[in-house]
């Protein structure tokens, strides 16, 4: 292990090198501000690169009557009125600029014959407003941002794991971490810190996130720095994640499979969506389809492995090869399964954290001076159900805004106050784990968290289960006092897993406690003991270990938006 501490100073530190982190770093560099970006996985392999569907903006290239106001109204309605209207307005207004920025960085959007950017229907949008690049939109966005970062000479450290955001008197002054390869400790001083380290859906057993990403890192770093979390119980479950092999459980089968005519059947061979949404059937909304599949499995009508069947084998082979090439390839690689001949075994999978760090709508600042959160780490836009395609545009809009806000904050500082005590605490936290030699295995405890969350806080929750989940969490936390951490010749992943576990425990507790408080069914949050929507719970639930759960009022929807809120037909649209 390299024990020599590296000390770096920068104006703004960005934690996370996915779409939101890179967009903020680009804005800072273009403004001439010194910036450093850190990631715990290679920048080309950030979670953003997995996003398939598309990116929303009311460009009006296909439907001229579309407007930012209608985009904002659709977002608020789909959130079950838990979105902050101001946040929705900022994203919808700034979306066209976000697309223009991507074009400036060289993004290759799908286009019509006359050169207009193509836009398609997606989810509960009133108009066609989803721009895309094949079924790899996120990957193309990530490529474009990485290329722009290279042009601007932005320093990006790909294998630095941040263990703590450093604060003094309620303001940030940097962060502490270590190199995943050789263990080199990093002490980074910065005027402002932008947290862009994703969500917490990896704390469920089946998830569309890969190993060691979205373990709740943002939640832990923010909470330990003194910030709070908003609506962590609101997690979107995608209806179709594969079950096997276990190391790939939760890998998504694109909803394009249903959009192209795929049929869902239970273990008895029955087409079950007719019992849940006879009109839209397989083209129902994401939360409805996930709930239907969950119910079939829970009531004993699932497959042998606890799933349901998604069948596209009746479609023409050329349709599958041209419209679902990625699904075909994925299943061939992972299961040697030919989807043109056989059905796919799927189950609902944790997909997206709609809640996150509490931030102000206008600049995504937190209650800790100089600390900002963006992307899936933040909250305020999606409420209880995310409009498909909104997450990618949110990255670009707020990446730009937050980059500017952090630069302005830094410029206004008289001095940067530091704390040797805070630095020593961060050093000690790492040092203590490195000598931890207990009998408990970190990976086994991570699995225990995932089992608890899957059992008690999955698609459907109830009071009894949430209480039992919190009890199990107490037991797991007690066991963490006996963990062993053993870095080896391959690197310091084991130390990172110990911090991932800390993050997962905080994220799990926040989720269970807020889910217990939200005694209603709204969007993605299904309470079997409270099946109805409760108007008194049209509030955000804000959590911290210091205050527990508090209710926060949501600002009223402006008249110009509320009059545009209507039921949107999903006929013929690919939902979410």
Instruction: Taking residues 167-178, report their average pLDDT.
Output: 98
- Rounded to whole angstroms, the Cα distance separating 569 from 285 reads 11
Q: Which residues pair with 365 in a beta bridge?
A: 372
With bands split at pLDDT 50, 70 and 90, how would you rate the model's confidence at 573? very low
For residue 570, pLDDT over 70 is answered with: no
pLDDT digits (tens, 9 = 90+) for 227-247: 999 999 999 999 999 999 888
For residue 561, pLDDT over 50 is answered with: yes
With bands split at pLDDT 50, 70 and 90, how would you rate the model's confidence at 575? very low
Nearest to 566 by CA among 234, 226, 69: 69
Share of the chain above pLDDT 70, in %: 98
CB environment 409-423: b (16+ within 10 A), e (fewer)? bbeeeeebeeeeebb
Note whether 250 and 241 are within 8 A (CB). yes
Is 228 a catalytic site residue? no
Is 71 a catalytic site residue? no
Residue 387: per-residue pLDDT: 83
- Full-model pTM: 0.94
Structure tokens at 175: 């962060």
Residue 567: per-residue pLDDT: 65
Residue 568: per-residue pLDDT: 54
pLDDT digits (tens, 9 = 90+) for 38-82: 999 878 778 887 777 789 999 999 999 999 999 999 999 999 999
Count other C-beta atoms under 10 Å from residue 459's C-beta: 25
For residue 535, pLDDT over 80 is answered with: yes
Greater confidence (264 vs 572) lies with 264
Rounded (10°) angle between helices 390-411 and 19-30: 40
- Maximum distance among all Cα pairs of the chain, rounded to whole angstroms: 70
Average pLDDT, the chain: 93
164, 238, 286, 525: which is the annotated catalytic residue? 238
- Rounded to whole angstroms, the Cα distance separating 355 from 346 reads 25
Note whether 131 and 119 are within 8 A (CB). yes
Residue 473 burial (CB < 10 Å; 0-12/13-18/19+)?
A: buried
Residue 84: per-residue pLDDT: 98
Q: Measured between alpha carbons, how far is residue 448 from residues 305, 474, 499 in Å?
A: 20, 12, 15
Residue 101: per-residue pLDDT: 97
pLDDT digits (tens, 9 = 90+) for 90-108: 999 999 999 999 999 999 9
Nearest to 379 by CA among 485, 488, 231: 231
- Rounded to whole angstroms, the Cα distance separating 45 from 326 reads 17
47, 258, 497, 527: which is the annotated catalytic residue? 258
pLDDT digits (tens, 9 = 90+) for 459-514: 999 999 999 999 999 999 999 999 999 988 888 999 999 999 999 999 999 999 99
Residue 571: per-residue pLDDT: 47
272 three-class SS: helix
């Amino acid at each position: 292990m390299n024990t020599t501490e590296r000390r770096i100073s920068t104006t703004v530190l960005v934690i996370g090198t996915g779409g939101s982190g890179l967009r903020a770093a680009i804005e800072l560099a273009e403004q001439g501000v010194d910036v450093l970006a850190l990631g715990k996985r290679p920048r080309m392999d950030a979670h953003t690169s997995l996003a398939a569907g598309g990116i929303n903006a009311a460009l009006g290239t296909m439907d001229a009557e579309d407007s930012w106001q209608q985009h904002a109204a659709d977002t608020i309605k789909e959130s079950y009125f838990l979105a902050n209207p101001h946040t929705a307005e900022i994203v919808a207004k700034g979306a066209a600029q976000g697309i223009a920025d991507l074009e400036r960085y060289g993004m290759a959007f799908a286009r019509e014959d006359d050169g207009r950017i193509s836009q398609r229907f997606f989810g509960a949008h009133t108009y066609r407003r989803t721009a895309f690049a094949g079924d790899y939109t996120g990957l193309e966005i990530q490529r474009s941002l990485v290329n722009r970062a290279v042009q601007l000479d932005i320093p990006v450290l790909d294998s630095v794991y941040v263990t703590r955001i450093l604060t003094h008197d309620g303001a940030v002054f940097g962060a502490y971490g270590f190199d995943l390869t050789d263990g080199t400790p990093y002490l980074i001083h910065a005027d402002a810190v932008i947290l862009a380290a994703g969500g917490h859906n990896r704390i469920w057993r089946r998830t569309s996130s890969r190993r060691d990403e979205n373990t709740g890192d943002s939640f832990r770093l923010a909470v330990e720095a003194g910030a709070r979390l908003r609506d962590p119980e609101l997690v979107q479950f995608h209806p179709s994640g594969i079950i096997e092999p276990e190391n790939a459980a939760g890998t998504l089968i694109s909803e394009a499979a249903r959009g192209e005519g795929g049929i869902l059947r239970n273990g008895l061979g029955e087409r079950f969506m007719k019992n849940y949404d006879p009109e839209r059937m397989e083209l129902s909304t994401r939360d409805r389809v996930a709930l239907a599949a969950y119910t079939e499995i829970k009531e004993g009508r699932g497959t042998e492995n606890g799933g349901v069947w998604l069948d596209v084998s009746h479609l023409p082979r050329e349709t599958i090869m041209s419209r679902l090439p990625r699904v075909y390839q994925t299943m061939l690689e992972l299961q040697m399964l030919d989807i043109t001949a056989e059905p796919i075994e799927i189950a609902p999978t944790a997909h997206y954290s709609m809640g996150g760090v509490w931030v102000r709508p206008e600049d995504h600042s937190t209650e800790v001076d100089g600390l900002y959160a963006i992307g899936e780490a933040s909250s305020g836009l999606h409420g209880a159900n995310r409009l498909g395609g909104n997450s990618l545009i949110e990255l670009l809009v707020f990446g730009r805004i937050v980059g500017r806000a952090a630069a302005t904050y830094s410029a206004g500082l008289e001095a940067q106050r530091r704390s040797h005590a805070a630095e020593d605490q961060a050093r000690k936290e790492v040092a203590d784990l490195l000598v931890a030699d207990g009998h408990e295995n970190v990976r086994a405890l991570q699995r225990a968290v995932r089992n608890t969350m899957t059992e008690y806080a999955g698609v459907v929750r109830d009071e009894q289960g949430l209480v039992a989940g919190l009890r199990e969490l107490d037991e797991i936390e007690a066991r963490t006092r006996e963990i062993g951490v053993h870095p080896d010749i391959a690197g310091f992943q084991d130390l990172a897993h110990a911090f991932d576990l800390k993050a997962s425990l905080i994220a799990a507790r926040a989720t269970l406690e807020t889910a217990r408080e939200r005694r209603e069914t709204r969007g993605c949050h299904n309470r079997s003991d409270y099946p109805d929507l409760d108007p008194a719970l049209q509030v955000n639930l804000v959590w911290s270990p210091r205050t527990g759960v508090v209710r926060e009022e949501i600002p009223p929807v402006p008249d110009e938006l509320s009059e545009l809120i209507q039921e949107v037909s999903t006929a013929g649209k690919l939902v979410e």
